[in-house]
Structure 1
Amino acid sequence: MTDIALIQDADGRRDIALEAGDLAAEESPRTAVVLSLLTDRRADTDDELPDGGSDRRGWWADAWSEPSEDLIGSRLWLLAREKELPAVARQAEAYAREALQWLVDDGIAESVEVTAEDFRAEWLTLRVVIRRRGGGTVEQRYDYVWEAL
């Protein structure tokens, strides 16, 4: 799987990587994982919205996705106002697994494991381990500022 490479600076911001004035490519699913976790999936009709409003967010093209349940992004944003509790960490893991399930469904990965490793003082760290078909493992940690989810 070839994708556009992303770089991360010391402050945790991500940007598109360039090589000799052109887009840099990478052979790992890292960029796909970042986009899957950091974009907002549309909330389900029974999800409680964090601000009590009516904006269910989501990517506009999901309206035409085939199959209809093939949605982009994660519902991690729904946890923005939640307390730092073990049950909320388990929900974050479930939302992340849901966002990354397409890697298994599309045959890119054999399995995806997500663990909330650090959950303290406004931080959530998710450890993502992707076992690729044909061998190889990609492991990455993603830190979130809890207030910004």
Structure 2
Amino acid sequence: MDILLAFGSPGADLAVASGDLLTDDGLLTAVVVSLFTDRQAEPGDELPAGETDRRGWWADATLPKLAGAPDNIGSRLWLLRREKQLPEVVARAREYATEALQWLLREGRVDGLAVDAAIAAPGHLRISVALTVPGETLRTAYDYDVLSGVYRPTA
């Protein structure tokens, strides 16, 4: 069991009831952390205009190397900040989200993973995730404001 992240405005916070932290099976929390934590930019990635910080989590350096590459926490969705809403940018969003969630497959937390991205509104990407676990498919979707970095689950 993991601590449950509950959605509010903006983003997620720890869920509490009767003074106790609530828990869940960890999949929803894992998806939120994987998608909306800033992964370190790759050496060839172009940073958003005016930025020099490659971001990332300090503890990535301590994570094991899988298949010769470090296992990094988070996604590179933050790199899309200030990008135009073009089909190739939506394709990169899908790629970045899929990359961020691959660890769920590698570690056997899910049997299948499908990610889709689309323009939800001006300045907003919709990222939809379907996770297959034994006996069911869990679906969740988020609207992500690429300018502010704020995300909200969709209905």
TM-score (norm 1): 0.91
Higher mean C-alpha deviation, range 31-40 or range 116-125: 116-125
What fraction of aligned residue pairs are identical, expressed as a percent? 45
- Which aligned pairs between 1:8-19 and structure 2 lie closer than 5 A? 8-9=7-8, 11-19=9-17
CA–CA separation in structure 2 for the residues paired with 1:40 and 1:22: 28
Structure 1 unaligned segments of length 5 or more: list them: none
Quote the residue 2:125 is aligned against: 124
Distance in 2 between the 1:28 and 1:72 partners? 15
User: Residue 41 of structure 1 aligns with which residue?
Assistant: 39
Distance 1:90 1:145 in 2: 16
Task: Give, in whole Å, the separation in 2 of the partners of 1:118 and 1:52.
Answer: 24
Runs of 4+ displaced beyond 4 Å: none
The structural deviation recorded for 1:52 is 4.6
Q: How far 1:13 moved relative to its partner?
A: 3.1
Q: CA deviation at 1:12?
A: 4.6
Equivalent residue number for residue 87 of structure 2? 86
Aligned residues, how many?
146
Aligned match of 1:114: 115
1:1-149 to 2 correspondence within 5 Å?
2-9=1-8, 11-67=9-65, 68-132=69-133, 134-149=134-149
| CA distance in 2 between partners of 1:53 and 1:109 (Å) | 35
What is the CA distance between 1:41 and its match in structure 2? 0.4
Unaligned runs of 5+ in 2: 150-155
Q: How far 1:28 moved relative to its partner?
A: 4.7
Q: CA RMSD in A?
A: 1.5
How high is the TM-score relative to the length of structure 2? 0.88
